[in-house]
Amino acid sequence: MGFLHKGHISLIKESKKRADVTIVSVFVNPTQFAPNEDFSKYPRNIDKDTLLLIQEGTDFLFYPPVEEIYSKNHQTYVEVTEITKILEGEFRPTHYRGVTTIVAILFNSIKPDFAFFGQKDAQQAAVIRQMVDDLKYDIEIIECPIVREDDGLAMSSRNIFLSPSEREKALIINKSLTHAKDLITSGEHNVKNVIKKINNIFINESTIHLNYLRIVDSETFKEIEKLEEGNSYYVLVAAKVGNTRLIDNLLVQL
């Protein structure tokens, strides 16, 4: 959705490794924002984005106006069920319908061979993968690793909204994920025990409001009770730091 950072640039670099032509779409999608969310405030800087894309050797920028994507008589939406009802879907019930609709429109407009998404929104990547499989798109979905600041904060366009003190507090999110991974890799495979210990990190932080802290199967995103060797799992966190909602995750492979 623009306001590009190193996380986005990593997707471009991966595309240039695999494909002959790299196209970047920049579109702040109104249908994935609820009325009480920050659509109007979402950061935008298309001039800076364009310069970054040129510097990275991007072949094309697709920057359509809203009315080109959604006509006044727009009536059609794409909806993935089940996986969109949990986690982010619990807190943002209309969000993924907007995501799958815009991604389907972009896919139909551009007809790519590959599409690159960041792991930071791991559930979104899984939702899109499901849509691609169900609707028989001939597109390979490539999920790229999270890119972090030097201090561990996951890069996000919304980080600009954090005050200096909030920015410092936000580091707790990644620290909690790292602690969860340490617990799991050291042999704690009871999910309730891991969640309880990690939740304690947030209890005394009044500036952070935890939406959820979950451990899920990396394929289905369903919660599990016990971690098993040979499987992989996501530790997922969504939290509001001040007025800014952040998400982060860590993939754990046993």
What is the set of active-site residues? Answer: 8
Helix 95-110 with 122-134: angle, nearest 10 deg: 60
Measured at the CA of 147, the angle between CA 144 and CA 152, to 5 degrees, comes to 145
Cα(209)–Cα(218) distance, integer angstroms: 25
- The 10 Å Cβ neighbour count of residue 157 is 18
CB of 146 within 8 A of CB of 173?
no
Length of the chain counted residue by residue: 254
Rounded Cα distance between 137 and 186, Å, is: 41
- 66's CB contacts (< 8 A; 6+ apart) are 30
What's the chain's Rg over C-alpha atoms?
Answer: 19
